Amino acid sequence: MEVVATQLRGALAGKDVETLQSGGLVIAYEPVWAIGTGRTASGADAAAMAGAIRSTLAADLAWGHAAEGVPVLYGGSVTSANIAEFLAEPSIDGGLVGGASLKPDEMAGMVARAAVTAMARAAAEGKPE
C-alpha cells in the first residue's frame, strides 16, 4: 500500500483537485504481480487498496471529502467469472479490463454483470434505474 501511496503522491502532488475531477480523473489500480499472469486479487484485497487510495488522496494530498468522488477501478485479470466479486465491493467503481476485452463473449458477460450491479446499487440507494 505504501508503494501505491508513494506513486499517488508523486503523480498528483501540487495538482488542483477541482481541475482533475472536472477533467474526469479516474484512478485504476492493478497489482504488479497480476500483470500478464492471470492471477487476481480477492475482492476484499482490491477494496482495501481502493480505500487506501482514497485515504492517500484525502489525507496525504489534502483532498478531504473530494477523495470520495474519485472513481477507483480494479484491474488485474478481470474476467466475466470474477468481475462480480470486485463490483460487489462498494469502494470499487469498476474494472480496468485487459485481454478479456478482446473476447466478445467475455466482454459481454462483464458488461451484463456490471449492469446488474449498477441496478442493484441504484435500488439500494433509492435511485431510479
What domains are defined for the chain?
2-14+25-124 (3.20.20.70)
The reported pLDDT for the residue numbered 94 is 92
pTM of the entire predicted model: 0.88
How far apart are alpha carbons 39 and 41 in whole angstroms? 7
How far apart are alpha carbons 28 and 73 in whole angstroms? 5
What is the Cα gyration radius of the chain?
Answer: 15
How far apart are alpha carbons 82 and 93 in whole angstroms? 15
> What are all long-range contacts of 45-51, with beta carbons under 8 Å and residues at least 24 apart?
46/74, 46/76, 46/86, 46/89, 46/92, 47/89, 47/90, 47/91, 47/92, 48/1, 49/1, 49/4, 49/74, 50/74, 50/89, 50/91, 50/92, 50/93, 51/91
Q: What is the pLDDT of residues 52-77, one digit of tens each?
A: 999 999 999 999 999 999 999 999 88
The reported pLDDT for the residue numbered 38 is 78
Instruction: Please say if the pLDDT value at position 125 is more than 70.
Output: yes
What the block records as the C-alpha cell of 106 is 467475455
